[in-house]
Structure 1
């Protein structure tokens, strides 16, 4: 494994921890729509970092597409009773799956991923030149 891949993965772990910390801080400090929208956007950002961690050389656009598609898949799965049932039993399942469908979240996932796609794209272009 190259040094660049190791550093990328370390950066993704730190980024995911930072995004999760921000989400929990917002949840602790606020209540209402800001908390909900920030939570959706930051969860997409976390998924983006996980995609890059798993496949560090993936293109920014592909990573963003995977992250948004995954978030949408989880959100639309909430239209079934399974995520709610799992969320009632387990805190971690609630964090990962949510409990109920919210169409507004579908719009906020790209808000969390698109800025990371842009930053990743710019960083990649800068390091290649």
Structure 2
């Protein structure tokens, strides 16, 4: 017996709205990182910056792939952060850091094991923010709009 098509909210999968929200969070994240460095020093600035680095990577993942789930975005950002940290065991980031401020900001220069933990903290925080913003975007899109049936075969995405 055929089933009724799944009702899907068009705003829930609107990539432009998602990209704009992610870009806004990226700007706020960069501002938070710069602000943290301006008002603190030492471990707070260092490890807070590490966490925010991963949050920024997560927002960039969402800008590039707006339909990515929060878990996949967080996992991808964490994997990239860890890969860059482990790359610091080689001479490549150190050499690039000596030649370029951007290289130093993006790749760092020295492997530091505690950074791995703080990247995970950033991924968890980014996951929570992504999940919350996704719920807000979905809820905002449902207000005053009529949901439409999913046109995919069988009503599945």
Return the TM-score normalized by structure 2: 0.75
Q: Which residue of 2 aligns with 1:112?
A: 122
Instruction: Quote the offset at 1:124 in angstroms.
Output: 4.2
Structure 1 43/14 Cα, relative in aligned 2: closer, same or farther at 3 Å?
same
Mapped partners of 2:40, 2:135: distance in 1: 37
Instruction: Quote the offset at 1:82 in angstroms.
Output: 0.5
Structure 2 residue 70 is matched with structure 1 residue 27: no
Any idea what SS the aligned residue of 1:80 has? coil
Deviations 1:49-108 (A, max 9, x none): 001111011111111110000000000000101101001110111111011111111000
Mapped partners of 2:100, 2:132: distance in 1: 39
Mapped partners of 2:57, 2:24: distance in 1: 13
Higher relative contact order (CA 8 A, sep 6+): 2
Task: Return 5+ residue gaps in structure 1 as ranges.
Answer: none
Mapped partners of 1:6, 1:82: distance in 2: 36
Equivalent pairs, count? 128
Radius of gyration: which is bigger?
2
Instruction: Quote the offset at 1:116 in angstroms.
Output: 2.3
Return the TM-score normalized by structure 1: 0.90
Instruction: Quote the offset at 1:118 in angstroms.
Output: 2.7
Mapped partners of 2:58, 2:79: distance in 1: 11
Structure 2 residue 104 is matched with structure 1 residue 91: no
Instruction: Quote the offset at 1:23 in angstroms.
Output: 0.7
Structure 2 residue 56 is matched with structure 1 residue 61: no
RMSD: 2.0
Mapped partners of 2:20, 2:134: distance in 1: 17
